[in-house]
Amino acid sequence: MGQPALPRCACCGYRTGCTTCPICFWTDDGRTDPSVSAVHGSRNGDLSLADARLNFSIYGASAPRYRELVRPPRDDERP
């Protein structure tokens, strides 16, 4: 508490402040809501932000292959 809020992950919304989110394994590539369905073939491969959010709601990770790599969010990371 008392710390400035970290940037929110574009995919899961938790405030991890990491380039690659440890909670959903989305890699921040600058995409936000206006380009939610765009695919740039960047750090997240062919995964769109819309797909990543859908995957997170189903699998708890931005892609099924990341399920073993993610961890539960901490209380201080909640949006």
Interacting residues toward Zn ion by CB under 5 A: 9, 11-12, 21, 23-24, 26
Structure tokens at 67: 């399920």
Nearest distance in Å: CB 23, Zn ion: 5
Structure tokens at 74: 């901490």
With vertex at residue 59, the alpha carbon angle to CA 10 and CA 69, rounded to the nearest 5 degrees, is 75
- Closer residue to Zn ion (CB): 2 or 33: 33
- Separation CA 5–CA 49 (nearest Å): 22
- Closer residue to Zn ion (CB): 40 or 60: 60
- Closer residue to Zn ion (CB): 8 or 40: 8
